[in-house]
Structure 1
């Protein structure tokens, strides 16, 4: 159901339609290294859980955390990490963007730099980031002034080798008018734009048209990327996003707006790790999977991490090595999906593959619930339902000739 209590972005008559078509944009070797990849977005504390499963030919890392710059430097220059590597300042977690200060990066000036934006970009470059990312504050649903200020400041840099981070409230994708307004702003950016969605629980499941509007955004904004997300990382990549990033933990699969506390299902205490159930294309607590199967045989996992040695009901607590094993399993499964997706021809074929995959997953809920004789035991997430309704069409197919 659509929540009509959420505020909409204020209309701006001068930007409700996108500007004239943008010509070919300058490309860099760094951008080409990121293209068509799905990175793993992870905290430095959990990096060791997942790094071994990241496919260096198709993926890479987005590091988060207060020591992300330091860890990135160590990875790149001491450990010889050669895959794409980004650093997310994640300022949007603690501060909103404002018209006066769209990049609220709290850092001491140096002898050579006193501008927080330029200092952040320089730190990331020095740490070996493939491309630096702007430390943008959270862009609230009604604050088109803050969005405009951020865009104008990035345009002043005149540097296409900078990723403009656009951490937006998902309400921007609520209807056609606000989506067109957002597209108009983002089309002004000369380099790649990393869209990140804010909202509690499952942001893309919140509005009926959010998934289709995200596809529209990806199709019409040159070099649009989608970071800090979940299933949408595949949906956006299939729809023509330049690159995406899947969160290794629930915290990095969406943004909680500054000042808000993350909502959880309080009826289910978190005493076990989140486990990706491949057939259902969803995360469930390991303890929940074990309880649903009870005495029945749970599916044995043959991903590159489990290798047939673990069943999906094995991750029942947060003790010992189980959280690390669950995280490695999750990423290994994601890499399998990524290898399959990127083997499909870009355009309509990829969109069809993703649509078919989502439809098949929905069908599996009844099959699995019937097999364990518990109708409704596993329930699909709203976002999966949305993707399974988003049939591919020619209008939403990426314009490959204008995006390279």
Structure 2
């Protein structure tokens, strides 16, 4: 998942058979068309980002920011927007769903409204975006969320919102695994390495954010237009299964030889070499994309189920050992992240009640 301004830098590092791009930004539609004209075999879709602009209501679960202001969408308007994505050669259409909050006392009326309206779409080319507060992954709300995902006639792309990493919240890692094991057409959207835990446990796919702001959901805030800032280089350190600022790596390896990387971008160079220059920020992003697809190629080579889960557990065990090695080499106190600790725990079972009720708009197509 990448902003339209960075898409062309990333594209050469995305494998056509197993990869793809989710485009955000004002020029996402134009960039989508250009990429698909040049590489028609590459999966490219767009995300309007409505979930960053407006909170969903029962009467208006979908909407779109336009040059004339905010536009609420009924089924006819929703079809029009989805047709527009396809006219711009998107590989599939993605609903412009607004943000679905949860104040811990709310019922699931808004969730039901999203699915009810989406199920009225008589299309075979649509993914329903479900941008949710992390509270929906708590045990008290998880079954309601799973029931609506299963009731949907279309694949569902789940975004988890939190202030910070949603996977660090209590019950969320376990809840997400249960969703993935219980909802066979679930995609994790706007995420980080949680993509691999999700796919190991049954998710259909995932969209990993190329930048920190695209690696989890954000709640709409009035007047939050965002400010300009100079990007700093961040790299995925595959051995640690963590993203790190290069400045942090430079501190760690100030007195010893730094770790190197053999990806097609780095070609054996040190991970500490990236500066804050525009060229190095782009190169750091390209390195991270290469490392993500290196991991994905290994996952893709495993059989779904126990073999895939076993592969992921081995990656986590290796990361644990590399954390210990790095701490020893650099004489640094290096905590093993809470998220990685959670992923090393045993898998929870699928939700027992999921799939026992009929979909609210009739049976799902096989």
Q: Given the two structures, how large is their TM-score scaled by the length of structure 1?
A: 0.80
Question: For 1:344, what is the secondary structure of its paired residue?
Answer: coil
Change (3 A) 1:271 1:129: closer
Change (3 A) 1:80 1:57: closer
Change (3 A) 1:293 1:201: same
Query: Distance between the aligned counterparts of 2:138 and 2:350, measured in 1?
Result: 20
Query: Distance between the aligned counterparts of 1:250 and 1:122, measured in 2?
Result: 30
Question: For 1:301, what is the secondary structure of its paired residue?
Answer: coil
Query: Distance between the aligned counterparts of 2:145 and 2:196, measured in 1?
Result: 22
Residues 259-298 of structure 1 correspond to what in structure 2 (within 5 A)?
259=221, 272-298=232-258
Is 1:162 the counterpart of 2:120 in the alignment? no
* Corresponding residue number in structure 2 for 1:322: 280
Cα deviation 1:79-118 (Å, max 9, x = unaligned): 2342111111110011111111100213479xxx994312
Residues 3-402 of structure 1 correspond to what in structure 2 (within 5 A)?
41-77=1-37, 79-107=38-66, 115-142=76-103, 144-175=108-139, 177-207=140-170, 209-259=171-221, 272-308=232-268, 310-315=269-274, 317-376=275-334, 379-389=335-345, 391-392=346-347
Change (3 A) 1:114 1:218: closer
Query: Distance between the aligned counterparts of 1:152 and 1:242, measured in 2?
Result: 22
Provide the aligned length of Structure 1 versus Structure 2. Answer: 344
**1:298 Cα offset (Å):** 0.5
Query: Distance between the aligned counterparts of 2:320 and 2:309, measured in 1?
Result: 17
Question: For 1:234, what is the secondary structure of its paired residue?
Answer: helix
Query: Distance between the aligned counterparts of 1:306 and 1:218, measured in 2?
Result: 34
Cα deviation 1:32-76 (Å, max 9, x = unaligned): xxxxxxxxx111111133211111111111111111111101111
* Bigger relative CO (Cα 8 Å, ≥ 6 apart): 1
Query: Distance between the aligned counterparts of 2:325 and 2:39, measured in 1?
Result: 46
Gap regions ≥5 residues in structure 1: 1-40, 263-268
Q: Given the two structures, how large is their TM-score scaled by the length of structure 2?
A: 0.87
Query: Distance between the aligned counterparts of 2:233 and 2:365, measured in 1?
Result: 39
Cα deviation 1:156-193 (Å, max 9, x = unaligned): 11334311100111111122x30001011111101100
Query: Distance between the aligned counterparts of 1:332 and 1:155, measured in 2?
Result: 37
Check the 8 A contact 1:348/1:393 in 2, yes or no: no
Change (3 A) 1:139 1:261: same
Query: Distance between the aligned counterparts of 1:298 and 1:261, measured in 2?
Result: 43
Query: Distance between the aligned counterparts of 2:223 and 2:205, measured in 1?
Result: 29
* Corresponding residue number in structure 1 for 2:360: none
Cα deviation 1:106-143 (Å, max 9, x = unaligned): 3479xxx9943122201111111111010000000145
**1:358 Cα offset (Å):** 1.4
